[in-house]
Chains A and B, each alone.
Chain A
């Protein structure tokens, strides 16, 4: 494993001048992931969303490598086409350089509208990496709920109202769904642990065939926390088991981090404005339901990873 010092020497592919909000998780995630490609030639694909809109305002670009955006729901298909072109041209001797391919999509562009295109790309076995920058809502269009939005969250299409306390449904478990495609590599990671992100991104670039990484990528605007606290907040997502770090390599599930003690979900919810209403009297049941969901998923994950089951304290 490279040291931070060594990683800092890798040329940046995502550079300054972009217009992401200060402290946006996307910039951090993208730099960490691309860093793991080391000195390879990389083509980046990108779905419509905050990252694309903020990084390619014509005539500027924040991308120091080849980059393509075509639409919102098709980053999987678009990068498939790029990879197919590479294979074809390479085979015919029309190009000689090697390339790696990575597509970034938000949770909207991945869990929802781009789900079909992603599933197709994974099933076809292209040698690509797909990274979901999960900030748990459609941020670019003004914080609407997605199927990645946690239960109870206040978004502009699941507003916390007098009768309905935010989003009603639990999150879709996309990482597991991607693993169910039986691709060589699927993983979930978080920017609070750069070593974990780096190792997983590197593995994703290295495996032959499709790889999927889901990365929790907070949005200070949509989540409404104190912007500089991003890493602390992501740590809480991991410690509360809300966002477990695991990987599935050739069908083998592996838990990468097990919190030492049981941390209640409130610790993750409390610092965020999108969950504030849950702490008002009368909404205790929502927090309970979120906790139940987190506990059940954690147990199921432990089982899949062959770990001893832990029961939450009563």
Chain B
């Protein structure tokens, strides 16, 4: 049974957590994630979940406690944003290397400094190389759906990695949206029980976790994490298919929007993809062959899916809501450009950094990007790779 409800992104994610009913949640409040923690606390207080809620004194401890709980054999979660994720940074690597399937929403917010509470993706991009699977969500519906799928992805025996579910702070977390939620029983059956192979609370089979590796093992262990990331791509697709069967909504590695015959495309994560799709619809009316590629999965990077979706376009603009300070543009730009390089068909790939610290991406900004792409297609030349959108210079 499906239910249409009008709720915010944070409420949707808290709802998903309630339906997943994890054994342990350890979390610390931070804007714009705070509501998730508050709402979930009320589920605990009212006996609507079986969860032990650990009200830690910091996000570093939140991930540490989630690690302890997950290692002990529990289904464990946390949730955070921005500085909280930055403070967790060390532990995200460790959660991954311990191969613990911890699921955690990340309500994307700009990193200090200067301190800012609004949306960008600098928090998520800070842990992109930590060995965590990163799902991105265009709206509250996707955030909800991703949460439920994340459990299955994380706990799949071929994967066993932490999964973060990203959605845009305020834009998605606080805006009211109409979405479909599944009934409790359907979610319960879909996520099933967590059955770890080795865990601390197995009295018959004690285990040591978090050992010290020398150069004789460390490298192999890292390679195994890469193999798990690789395996995750297939698992994400399989879980997406199963989820479609219960929800009617399709989920893959990327969302290719009107790209089949497109000559120009923008690549963009999360809520901005919604705006870009709107602009694409308008431009299509005018006869322009344009489309949007929205990676749903950023880590592992869906290299082949990106190639496949973009192989026929002539010019691509990658929109990054984060800086790298490398002077080579945003983090996604590097990955998309790398993916397209070997196609050897001279696709022009340029970058726009946009929306830092919560600055709006206006429809005319996206139109300008397509204008620029049209000029590049016409002239066959792209002179400026790194651009800033909606910025006073």
Contacts and interface: CB of A to CB of B under 8 A. Distances in A.
Interface of A: 41, 43, 45-46, 52-53, 56-59, 61, 63-71, 73-74, 76-89, 91-92, 94-95, 97, 99, 116-117, 119-120, 123-124
Interface in B62-94: 62, 64-74, 76, 90-91, 94
Interface residues of B, number: 44
A71 B52 contact: no
A74 B72 contact: no
Contacts of A57: 211-212, 214
Nearest to A43: B200
Nearest to A13: B206
A116 B56 CA distance: 10
24 contacts: A43-B72, A56-B208, A56-B211, A58-B217, A63-B208, A64-B206, A66-B201, A68-B210, A70-B94, A74-B61, A74-B64, A77-B64, A78-B67, A80-B68, A81-B64, A82-B68, A84-B65, A85-B73, A86-B201, A89-B73, A89-B201, A116-B58, A117-B61, A120-B57
B210 A81 contact: no
Interface in B22-79: 23-24, 26, 50-52, 54-58, 60-62, 64-74, 76
A45 B211 contact: no
Contact of A71 (B58, B70, B72, B91): B91
B73 A70 contact: no
Contacts of A99: 201, 203
A45 B214 CA distance: 21
A92 B23 contact: yes
Contacts of A89: 23, 72-74, 201
Contact of B72 (A59, A73, A82, A92): A82
Contacts of A83: 68
Contact of B68 (A41, A45, A59, A65): A45
Contacts of B55: 124
Given A58-B212, A88-B24, A80 B54 contact: yes
Nearest to B207: A66
Given A45-B68, A85-B68, A69 B209 contact: yes
A88 B51 contact: yes
B213 interface: yes
B202 interface: yes
B211 A81 contact: no
